[in-house]
Chain A
């Protein structure tokens, strides 16, 4: 692996991990919020 490829790979991997985690959190957040709304409706 050349230095330039390694540099690009490292920066891209960092962004993918950070943004991927943020997307995962937001999707979980939306799901729980929906669940809370359903519980409020049913109670």
Chain B
């Protein structure tokens, strides 16, 4: 099993390197923005990976409320935390890209604001998990995760529903939208690489969560034994 994980780690590293090469070397330079447009190859795959992780969190939270299994709760925590990491990348690379192109770091348009709200929802989820005590913490956080996920389709649709500073969709945006095939390859390779990295991080975080639960249970057992003497 360990060798399989190490092979997967090596594949992920290779994919990250290949994605970097695709984004910086193979993809053509965009005519209007120039090289700064290459931020797209990290910004967009990070957003898609975050959405995917929040979807996993949503499903795991439903399963937890249904079955009350510790495994699904651990998957929910792990995917939310890794999702916040990727969403943070989106919220930082976006303004870095915006500054030279728009002349501003940030604007309160629909896409940017809903993305910030999404990040805040999942940070609240993690704060709840970290600081709330009692048997209802998992139930409350699962409920928050289910309602919080409503913001994901709103973020996705924001540039379709509203007139925004953020560019219109180049992927699935209807007539006149689209990408050069080489640009597509760079986006998809980086998304594959980030998804593999996210899977690895979720696996480590899941294992950590289960180990922490074991340690907490052992401490509680010891405290009970000590109190009984």
Contacts and interface: CB of A to CB of B under 8 A. Distances in A.
A34 B35 CA distance: 47
Contacts of B43: 10
Interface in A1-43: 1-4, 6-7, 9-11, 13-14, 17-18, 21-22, 25-26, 28-29, 32-33, 35-36, 39, 42-43
B25 interface: no
A28 B24 CA distance: 34
Given A10-B43, A11-B42, A43-B218, A4 B89 contact: no
B214 A1 contact: no
Nearest to B93: A10
B211 A33 contact: yes
Nearest to B204: A25
A26 B92 CA distance: 24
A10 B204 CA distance: 26
A26 B204 contact: yes
Interface in B96-130: 96-97, 99-100
B96 A17 contact: no
Given A22-B201, A43-B222, A32 B85 contact: no
Across the A-B interface, give the 9 residue pairs with the lowest CB-CB distance, nearest first: A3-B36, A10-B39, A10-B93, A10-B96, A32-B211, A39-B218, A21-B85, A6-B100, A14-B42
Interface of B: 20, 24, 33-36, 38-39, 42-43, 46, 82, 85, 88-89, 92-93, 96-97, 99-100, 197, 201, 204-205, 207-208, 211-212, 214-215, 218-219, 222
Given A3-B100, A17-B92, A21-B85, 14 more contacts: A1-B100, A3-B35, A3-B36, A6-B100, A10-B43, A11-B24, A13-B93, A18-B89, A18-B197, A21-B201, A25-B205, A29-B211, A32-B211, A39-B218
30 contacts: A1-B99, A3-B35, A3-B100, A7-B39, A9-B96, A10-B39, A10-B42, A10-B96, A10-B97, A11-B39, A11-B42, A13-B92, A13-B93, A13-B96, A14-B42, A17-B88, A17-B92, A18-B89, A18-B197, A21-B82, A21-B201, A22-B204, A25-B204, A29-B207, A32-B211, A32-B212, A33-B211, A36-B211, A36-B214, A39-B218
